[in-house]
Structure formats: structure tokens, C-alpha cells
């Protein structure tokens, strides 16, 4: 069966090879990453058992992307916080919150791109990065506030105590890291 409800079926064999039944070709994790970026929907099945293993394969793609480029999307503070939710009462809430947050971010991405184009114009080398930095800071703050509000709904006893302080420190560190990366990028552009 090549497709199920419009999804491409990828079969994973015991030798770790991935077979795209839609194109009748073997593919790599990099190929699957490209399919995701193009918006192509697929499901990965264990070739022998038929079990859906899409989650583990997508996680493997994230791991490879994080380790090969050196430009990580997942800050250490986020990973630590995410790990802490496993086995916690919040484990049930976190996936839907993260999915909602990513959907909201994706919807705002077009607006952010338009604002960055206005800030940079046709000559990005002659502009500074102050406006994009402010836009990113505002977005991070909004997403963090949404996350904290959701967590407080399900953890009313935590209130504004120690975990909130740690979260604010982590946020400040993440924002500082983002500012430094943008400054570094600006310096490289100026040197060009």
C-alpha cells in the first residue's frame, strides 16, 4: 500500500533502511527532513510489524539536525525543563501546549518576515539588527508568558515561587544568547 489517507508510507527495515513506498525508492533521514520542510505528510512503519514508528524517526531527525549543524534550536534550559516533565503530572499537558505554541509561532512567522524585510530592505548589510532583536525578544516573552500561564493553571501551588525565578533566569539567558548570535551575525555582515 503506497498511501494511506494522502500520507506517504515509509517502511523502515531491520537493516535501518527507509523505503518510500510512494516513489519506490530508498530514502535517508535527510530526505525525510527535506520532505517535512516541504510540508509533505508521511508516516513511518516498521516493515516487519507494521507498527507506526513516525515519532521515533522524527525524533531521530531532530537529534541529527541538532548535532550536525552546531546551530541548535533547542536551548539546554528548554531541554532540561522538557525532561523534567516526563513522569510528572504536567506530561499530559505539555504536548498540546507545545503543539499550540508552534502553530502560533508558524502563523506569526509571516508577519515577522515582513517586518524583517521592512527593517533590512534590499540592502541588509547597511541596516542594523536592533529591530529584529526587539521583535524576537517580544515573541519569546509572549510565548514564555503563555507557557507560564498554562503551567500555573495545572500547578496552582507553585505560584510565583522558586520555579518562576529559575524560568526567568533561563529566559534571560536564552534572550542574551539570541542577542549575542544576532550581534555576531551583524559583525560578520559588517566585515563583508
Model-level pTM? 0.57
Tell me the residue range of the domain where 81 lies.
75-149
The answer to the question of residue 177 being in a domain is: no
Under DSSP, is residue 45 helix (H, G, I), strand (E, B) or coil?
strand
The answer to the question of residue 88 being in a domain is: yes
**15-52 confidence digits (pLDDT tens):** 889 999 999 999 999 999 999 999 899 999 999 999 99
For residues 38 and 68, state if they share a domain: yes
Q: How far apart are CA 6 and CA 9, in angstroms?
A: 9
**99-114 confidence digits (pLDDT tens):** 888 888 887 877 777 7
β-strand partners of 44: 10
Does 133 score more than 70 pLDDT?
no
The answer to the question of residue 182 being in a domain is: no
For residues 102 and 62, state if they share a domain: no
Of 176, 128, 34, the residue nearest 42 (C-alpha): 34
Q: Where is the domain boundary, 73, 104, 136?
A: 73
For residues 105 and 139, state if they share a domain: yes
**62-78 confidence digits (pLDDT tens):** 988 888 867 788 888 88
Number of domains in the chain: 2
Among 12-16, 87-91, 168-172, 182-186, which stretch is predicted with the lowest mean pLDDT? Answer: 168-172
User: What count of other Cβ atoms lies within 10 Å of the Cβ of residue 174?
Assistant: 16
For residues 49 and 111, state if they share a domain: no
Helices then strands, counting H and E runs in the chain, come out as: 6, 5
For residues 31 and 96, state if they share a domain: no
Of 67, 1, 42, 48, the residue nearest 31 (C-alpha): 42
Under DSSP, is residue 180 helix (H, G, I), strand (E, B) or coil?
helix
Q: How far apart are CA 162 and CA 86, in angstroms?
A: 20
The answer to the question of residue 82 being in a domain is: yes
For residues 82 and 121, state if they share a domain: yes
For residues 39 and 84, state if they share a domain: no
Q: Where is the domain boundary, 18, 47, 73?
A: 73
Amino acid at each position: 500500500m503506497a498511501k494511506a489517507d494522502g500520507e506517504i508510507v515509509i517502511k523502515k527495515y531491520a537493516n535501518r533502511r527507509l523505503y518510500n513506498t510512494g516513489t519506490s525508492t530508498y530514502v535517508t533521514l535527510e530526505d525525510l527532513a527535506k520532505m517535512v520542510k516541504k510540508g509533505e505528510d508521511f508516516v513511518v512503519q516498521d516493515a516487519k510489524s507494521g507498527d507506526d514508528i513516525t515519532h521515533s524517526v522524527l525524533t531521530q531527525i531532530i537529534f541529527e539536525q541538532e548535532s550536525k549543524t552546531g546551530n541548535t534550536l533547542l536551548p539546554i534550559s528548554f531541554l532540561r525543563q522538557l525532561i523534567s516533565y516526563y513522569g510528572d503530572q504536567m506530561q499530559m499537558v505539555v504536548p498540546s501546549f507545545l503543539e499550540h505554541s508552534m502553530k502560533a509561532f508558524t502563523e506569526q512567522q509571516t508577519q515577522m518576515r515582513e517586518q524583517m524585510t521592512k527593517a533590512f530592505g534590499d540592502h541588509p548589510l547597511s541596516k542594523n539588527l536592533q529591530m529584529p532583536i526587539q521583535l524576537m525578544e517580544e515573541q519569546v516573552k509572549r510565548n514564555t508568558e503563555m507557557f507560564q500561564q498554562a503551567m500555573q493553571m495545572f500547578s496552582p501551588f507553585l505560584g510565583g515561587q522558586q520555579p518562576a525565578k529559575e524560568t526567568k533566569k533561563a529566559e534571560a539567558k536564552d534572550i542574551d544568547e539570541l542577542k549575542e548570535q544576532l550581534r555576531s551575525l551583524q559583525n560578520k555582515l559588517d566585515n563583508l
